[in-house]
Each structure stands twice: as structure tokens, then as C-alpha cells.
A = this chain, B = another copy of it.
Amino acid sequence: MPAPFDLNVTALAGGVGAARFLRGLVRVIEPAHLCVIVNTGDDDEFFGLHVSPDLDTITYTLAGAIDQNKGWGLTQETFRCLEALGRYYPETWFGLGDADLATHLFRTQQLRQGKSLSEVTTAIARAWDVRATLLPMSNDSVRTIVHTEAGTLPFQAYFVKGRGEGQVEKVDFRGISTASPAPGVCEAIRNADLLILPPSNPIVSIGPILALPGVREALQETLAPVVAISPLVAGKPIKGPADRLLSGLSIEVSVVGVADLYQDFLDVFVIDTQDASQYARLQQRGLTVITTDTIMTDIEKSVALARVVVEHGQKRRQTRTE
């Protein structure tokens, strides 16, 4: 059965929220016509291994191997090595499963042998038979650092170890000024038929990608419509610290606050019906606003949302080219 929609889509993605959307998207477009540019600001080193949480979440989800309950890690995972690491390390708060470790071992060894993160990402996706193209946002090290009243922490330490607690004062992307987008990133934005920002954290998932030199410009200049799905539902994130990050940075914790972060390139904004009260304010900003059910509790809901997004994206595209 051919995919319902025939167009080339490029998505900018964080982890769990984006993955939930993308699993539906690859049912409504041909997976090989999808390119996902993935945040690597959350990458970190644990026990000497290079871990790319968002890349892994996207890969495992598209491979159908994700732990559906947790949203990250592999299904039917065990944690024997992590437990054993406790003998050698004082801290083992980052959940590395035994099977998952194979990915980190492979990535780390390939990087040490001089491969780029792009090359390793392609190899990992291929090993999992993922047909979409996955691109890390950059092959250079960019680290999302969260400054809270309690201290300055890399993102994983803030979010996983610290459970996202503490008043956020500032977020910065260490290394961003000297980092370049990975090969193909800007081209994938400029050459797509449709750009999608799935419901990812605008500050720490989409934020680092947009902060890379040239990415924002490519989004502004692309002829393709740009559609975003709000990561907030009823003014709150489904999961994660988006609300705390937004308020810490004095950004309105609402779909309007999110839209404003994308205002220079966004065409269509998909919000949950629970946020319909913000419809008028968003329209005043010149956006095409779609309200629908955005909570993806199962694969059917992911497919339904993807269908709405692609339909409206395509409609907008046709309007433009007419």
C-alpha cells in the first residue's frame, strides 16, 4: 500500500514527544522521504561512552523497539551492567540498559576511530532498518547547560538526576558559536516540501537546532511551509520541564509563548483543542492555526495527528504555488 501522501518532509526533533509524532508520520508518508534533524545538545558522556539520548529515542521508536511505557530505551530491557557499574562509580542515575549499551559502545568506538556523528548515526539507523534519514543537528559538540538557582548543570544532570527541579535562570548551548550544522541539515530544510516541528521542548530540544548558524535562516528562507505542533497541552507539557524552562526564561507558558519563539519562520501552528482559547491571539500573529487532539497515547492517535499536519501542510503548499 503506497503512503497516503507523496512529499519530502524534514522534521526537527527532540526525544520522546517528537518520536511519538514521527512513528505516526512514517505511516502517512513514505519513510524514505522523511529526514529528521535531531537535537544533540542533550548528548553526554557516561562511563566513557558517548550517549545521544534524542538520536536513540528517535531511532528506537522508528525501529519499533522503544519501551512504550517509558518513552525511552529499549523494550524488555535489563539493567545488569548499570547495577554492576555501581561497584565502580558513585553515581548510576542515567538509565543505560544492557541492550542499549551496545549502541553506545558502537557509537563511542566509531567516534574514537574518527567517524563523524553523522556517519555513526547513519550506521546505527541502518542496523535497525530505519528507512528515514536521521541527521544529528551537528557533528560538533554542543552541550545544553541549565543554570538554576541551585547551580549550573548539563541537561541530563538537570533533568534526569535533578528531576528538573530548581528555578531556571538561564539556558545556554556550550560550543554553539563554533559549531556547524551537520552536512545536509540546511539542505534538508531548504529542499523539503514540508517542514515539521513535532511537539518537542522549544527551549532545550528545538532551541539548540535553531541556534546553530544558518539553521534559522534556512527555515526563514525555505519555500516549504513550516508546521509546528505545540508541545504544550492546556498550557502544560505532557512530560518534561518545558513549563519550568519557559517561565524561567520569562516566556509566557502557553501556546502563544511557544509560537513567539518560532514567529520568524512558522506558517501553521497545530494546537490541542484544550488550548482553543488562544486561537485568536495566534491568528493575530498571522499564523494558520489548527486545533485538534494532539495527545498521542497510542499509535493510531499519532497517525491521526500526522495526517492532520501533513494535510494542512500540503494545503498550505498548494496555496503558495498557485
Q: Which residues of A contact B (CB under 8 A)?
A: 47-49, 78, 80-81, 83-85, 87-89, 98-103, 105-106, 108-109, 112, 123-124, 127-128
Smallest CB gap from A102: residue in B: B84
Which of chain B's residues have a CB closer than 8 A to the CB of A98?
78, 80-81, 84, 98
Which of chain B's residues have a CB closer than 8 A to the CB of A89?
106
Which of chain B's residues have a CB closer than 8 A to the CB of A127?
87-88
* Copies of this polypeptide in the complex: 2
Which of chain B's residues have a CB closer than 8 A to the CB of A88?
102-103, 105-106, 123-124, 127
Smallest CB gap from A47: residue in B: B105
**Nearest CB of B to A80, in Å:** 4
**Nearest CB of B to A21, in Å:** 25
Task: Check A109 against B48 for contact (C-beta < 8 Å).
Answer: yes
Give bound CA distance, A89 to B112, whole Å. 16
For the complex of A and B, the 9 pairs showing the least CB-CB separation, nearest first, are A48-B109, A84-B102, A80-B98, A84-B99, A88-B106, A85-B102, A98-B98, A81-B98, A47-B105
User: Interface SS of chain A: helix, strand, loop or mixed?
Assistant: helix
For A78, A81, A112, A123, the residue with the greatest tally of chain B CB atoms inside 10 Å of its CB is A81
Task: Check A112 against B80 for contact (C-beta < 8 Å).
Answer: no
Smallest CB gap from A89: residue in B: B106
For A89, A101, A109, the residue with the greatest tally of chain B CB atoms inside 10 Å of its CB is A101
**Nearest CB of B to A113, in Å:** 8
Give bound CA distance, A48 to B19, whole Å. 29
Smallest CB gap from A88: residue in B: B106
Give bound CA distance, A241 to B227, whole Å. 66
Smallest CB gap from A45: residue in B: B109
Smallest CB gap from A113: residue in B: B48
Give the contacting residue for A83; candidates B99, B100, B124; CB below 8 A.
B99
Which of chain B's residues have a CB closer than 8 A to the CB of A124?
88
Contacts A/B (CB < 8 Å), 8 sampled: A78-B80, A78-B98, A80-B80, A81-B98, A84-B99, A84-B101, A87-B102, A88-B105
**Nearest CB of B to A44, in Å:** 14
Given contacts A87-B102, A89-B106, 7 further A-B contacts (CB under 8 A): A47-B105, A49-B105, A81-B105, A84-B98, A85-B102, A88-B127, A101-B101
Give bound CA distance, A48 to B105, whole Å. 7
**Nearest CB of B to A168, in Å:** 31
Smallest CB gap from A49: residue in B: B105
For A48, A87, A100, A124, the residue with the greatest tally of chain B CB atoms inside 10 Å of its CB is A48
